[in-house]
């Protein structure tokens, strides 16, 4: 059957051809009805189909085909709250308060100590707020600079006591590091305050190391991006280093055992202190030895003159 002029091709449809059994066909709408044409062997055959129309209503809503997130077990896990500060230990709580407070809390603590000392009649020198002799002398010539120094020095010393870095402390006090070094170089009292503030920072490091060796670190345990618990961990190497630092006579560092030196039939045994003293004596002897050949010859001649083997030369001969 030939295709009429009013017939129009439809889209390709997987219909089986009765002749070649191919599934590559195209629907044709003709006067006699809908026909199918095989695209492989050009066979036209009749087909039966049923058109289903959807009845739309006003109550129908568009379906949402957005993929929804699948619920997992992690959504049902509730995070564990942070441990009680009392469980962390005394050292951990105190150090966290000092570090969290920052330089401002150190300044307030010294002001409060000065106020209480004045209230109860105790002697207390607020060294960070002290007007030194050098500032008093500067006050006569540069009054504004002296007053400004009394403002930035407490900020600088408080930040230095927590960081031990002059550059960071100068940044916290909003001054130049060169200004701080200038005051330290010309004011001995401020230089002493500088050293005390840095020693305070070293004490904080020592306190943190002691706290980690004694109380350990409280680390969280994660399970599927949720904190399910906490565990206390201890650094064994840090504990050994602390014991060697505070009890060296009992916990010796490797390499500090008595040294045995084989000198033939006899055996020389030295401790670390005796070995250090021997090395210092050896350095002193090397320092007294002549460095050039002329110095060696002049020294040998002086020894021969003292023995009387050679005549003493006058200054003109020398």
pLDDT, tens digit, 9 for 90 and up, residues 262-274: 555 565 666 777 8
Q: Which residue has the higher pLDDT, 8 or 186?
A: 186
Global pTM reads: 0.52
199-252 residue pLDDT tens: 989 999 999 999 999 888 888 888 877 888 888 888 889 988 888 888 888 887
Side-chain-side CA neighbours of 98 within 13 Å: the count stands at 18
For the cut 60, the answer to whether the pLDDT of residue 12 exceeds it is: yes
C-alpha separations of 86 from 92, 177, 235 in Å: 9, 40, 21
For the cut 70, the answer to whether the pLDDT of residue 55 exceeds it is: no
Are 215 and 192 spatial neighbours (Cβ–Cβ below 8 Å)?
no
For the cut 80, the answer to whether the pLDDT of residue 317 exceeds it is: no
Q: What band does 29 get if pLDDT is binned at 50, 70 and 90?
A: confident
Torsion of CA 210, 216, 218, 223, to 10 degrees: 140
The pLDDT of residue 130:
74
Are 267 and 260 spatial neighbours (Cβ–Cβ below 8 Å)?
yes
């Amino acid at each position: 059957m030939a295709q009429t002029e009013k017939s129009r091709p439809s889209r390709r449809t997987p219909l089986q051809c009765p002749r070649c059994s191919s599934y590559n066909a195209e629907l044709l709408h003709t006067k006699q009805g809908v026909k199918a044409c095989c695209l492989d062997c050009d066979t036209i055959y009749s087909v039966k189909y049923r058109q289903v129309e959807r009845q739309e209503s006003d109550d129908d809503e568009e379906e949402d085909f957005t993929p929804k997130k699948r619920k997992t077990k992690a959504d049902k896990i509730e995070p564990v709250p942070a441990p009680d500060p009392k469980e962390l230990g005394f050292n951990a709580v105190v150090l966290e308060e000092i570090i969290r407070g920052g330089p401002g809390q150190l300044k307030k603590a010294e002001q409060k100590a000065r106020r209480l000392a004045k209230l109860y009649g105790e002697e207390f020198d607020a060294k960070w707020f002290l007007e030194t002799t050098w500032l008093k002398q500067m006050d006569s010539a540069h009054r504004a600079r002296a007053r400004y120094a009394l403002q930035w020095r407490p900020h600088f010393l408080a930040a230095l006591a927590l960081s031990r870095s002059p550059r960071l402390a100068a940044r916290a006090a909003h001054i130049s590091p060169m200004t701080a070094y200038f005051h330290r170089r010309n004011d001995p009292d401020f230089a002493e305050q500088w050293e005390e503030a840095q020693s305070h920072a070293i004490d904080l490091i020592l306190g943190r190391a002691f706290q980690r060796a004694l109380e350990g670190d409280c680390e969280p345990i994660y399970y599927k991006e949720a904190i399910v618990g906490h565990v206390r961990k201890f650094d064994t190497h840090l504990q050994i280093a602390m014991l060697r630092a505070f009890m060296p006579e009992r916990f010796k560092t490797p390499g500090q055992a008595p040294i045995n030196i084989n000198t033939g039939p006899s055996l020389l045994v030295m401790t670390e202190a005796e070995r250090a003293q021997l090395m210092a004596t050896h350095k002193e002897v090397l320092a007294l030895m002549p460095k050039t050949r002329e110095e060696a010859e002049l020294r040998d001649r002086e020894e021969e003159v003292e023995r009387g083997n050679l005549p003493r030369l006058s200054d003109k001969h020398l």
